[in-house]
Amino acid sequence: MAVEVILPRVDMDMATGKISKWHAKDGEKVTKGAALFEIETDKAAMEIDAPSDGILRNILVGEGETAAVGSAVAFIYAEGEAVQSASPAAAQAPASATAAAPVSSVPTVTPPVASGETPRATPLARRLAKQAALALGGVSGSGPRGRILADDVRKALDSKPSVAAAAPATLSDDSIQKLYQPGSFAVQPMDGMRRTIAARLTQSKQTVPHFYLSVTATLDALMAARESLNAAAPRDASKAPLWRLSINDFIIKALGLALQKVPAANVTWAGDSILQHRVSDVGVAVAVEGGLFTPVVRNIEAKTLSAISLEMKQLAAKARARKLVPSEYQGGTSAISNLGMFGIEEFTAIINPPHASILAVGAGVQRFVPVNGQPSLATQMTCTLSCDHRAVDGAVGAELLQAFRSYIENPMLMLA
């Protein structure tokens, strides 16, 4: 009985391999353990040894040709054994695929079977394939002995339109769960908010060309202004102040004014055009149980700090109660994500489309800075602006950040 020469799996992600060179010709004698052919994957080239002694025959995959992992590429006959005209052991091809060195307990996917064979598949997989007019021969089976399961067909159908689709994204829940020890995790069903976050941010990070600009602003003047404004806040009958400004309120106001000062940054990318906005509407990320919302503070340029502060409090409360209506979170040209309260000094944020930018605000940190050659204590924060390069170029983003910093460091300008 002739021995199959199998294309082995030499790389975890490998589904096919290209034979770059045969070291023996059809009819030549080969020796077990000696290099027989070379394969090339995306990442590596490797010499494969002959699996047994004998005569090389029926080379099915020539130099430069590609074959599925686990498929037979040639046969080795014992000396004197009658040579079959076609591949002699095609019927056994799927079984021998297990010889393709699966790695540890990671589920392996058996390659598509050779043409002409009936693939092993569940009834449901067959029915789904038939409905979609998909040939099962081209589907890799993840079940025992290479059985094609319904999920394999679904995956094959999913990956059809876009070959470039990342493999992990098309993995089903089940196949991901299989990578972990059963019982070592709990499954949390996904709610609508989580789905929306996942879909929008994946789309943003994959389709919006981000670039990042960082600036450090000194906060001392702002903190002093905040303190005196809060001290002077009007009070109600029970002497409680009617408002109390936070540093974030100043940041919202500063970004709103900066967008007015640098109108080229107050834009959104609309596919065939760019929208140039007249008002400053800025989203503010609010963390809620299990996710986040980004309500939009509108017409910032026309609002006082106290009005912004009160509006923000209401929006945040509604966000946490999951009571925001679309008119409260749609639109806007930029956004603010502030993780300063967690002590995060600086970070980068993902743009929330259709915004053209997002400002990631870090914590205020005390530092010694040189003033006239002498160290002087200052409170500083680092902000990083993520920009959609389709709509905002580097210089425009830098101008916006510069304007923002000037408002932060000269807060009286915000009152002007």
Binding site for other proteins (CB under 8 A): 107, 122-127, 142-144, 149-151, 173-174, 177-178, 182-183, 185-187
Q: How far is the CB of 113 from other proteins (least distance, A)?
A: 18
Q: Which amino acid is at 205?
A: K
CB of 124 to other proteins, least distance (A): 4
Cβ at position 382, least distance to other proteins in Å: 41
Rounded Cα distance between 414 and 416, Å, is 6
Collect all residues with Cβ–Cβ distance below 8 Å to 196 and sequence separation of at least 6.
none
Residue placing its CB nearer to other proteins in the complex, 177 or 314: 177
Instruction: Reply yes or no on whether 277 is catalytic.
Output: no
Residue placing its CB nearer to other proteins in the complex, 144 or 271: 144
Smallest distance, other proteins to C-beta of residue 210, A: 34
54 φ/ψ angles, rounded to the nearest 5 degrees: 150, -160
Rank residues 186 and 395 by Cβ distance to other proteins and give the closer one. Answer: 186
How far is residue 25's CA from residue 217's CA, in Å, rounded to a whole number? 72
Sheet holding 35-40, edge to edge: 45-49, 35-40, 16-22, 66-68
- Which residue in the list 23, 210, 277, 389 is annotated as catalytic? 389
**Cα–Cα distance between 212 and 401 in angstroms, integer?**
11
Q: How far is the CB of 100 from other proteins (least distance, A)?
A: 19
Alpha helices in 178-265 (DSSP H): 192-207, 220-231, 247-261
Decide if 368 contacts 303 (C-beta within 8 A).
Answer: no
Residue 102 gets which letter from DSSP? -
Which residue, 128 or 265, has its beta carbon nearer to other proteins? Answer: 128
C-alpha closest to that of 252 among 194, 308, 293: 308
Q: Tell me whether residue 98 or residue 230 sits nearer to other proteins (CB atom).
A: 98
Catalytic residues: 389
